[in-house]
Amino acid sequence: MNNTSDKTFQVDIEKVIRSQKNRYIKNMPNFAVRYIKKIIREDELNKITEYAGETQGIEFIKKSMEYLNINCNFFNKENIPPEGRYIFAGNHPLGGIDFFAAVLSISDNYENIKAIANEMLMHVKPLQDIF
């Protein structure tokens, strides 16, 4: 994933694949790379990152959700302890949106949120503060 300018992050699936240590992934045929770019919807992801601009972390998540016209309503937030260190676990079958909503649900209570992510997500520079 790359920066087309110093300001706006752009998703570059091919660059991530070609930078892998695993030689089978690194040398993946071009048709397979194009297919992955299509199913991941690289072009749409880049529209989101362009809309989000230079935002980072929680602000990037908020701008991404705004671009997608997704609003989250959280119930029973008073049950989230206001202090302490906690581990929140979740299964995110819908991928990024579930993760974004989970992070937003606790972001008012906790400043230092960290998440475990796969290698592809580690390349998303606006979210690196969270991973």
pLDDT digits (tens, 9 = 90+) for 58-90: 999 999 999 999 998 888 888 888 788 888 777
- pLDDT per residue as tens digits for the range 23-63: 999 999 999 999 999 998 999 999 999 999 899 999 999 99
Contact 1, 12 (CB under 8 A): yes
Domain ranges of the chain: 2-127
Position 37 scores a pLDDT of: 94
Strands (E), the chain: 2-3, 9-10
- Does the pTM of the predicted model rise above 0.85? no
pLDDT at 6: 53
Rounded to whole angstroms, the Cα distance separating 99 from 76 reads 18
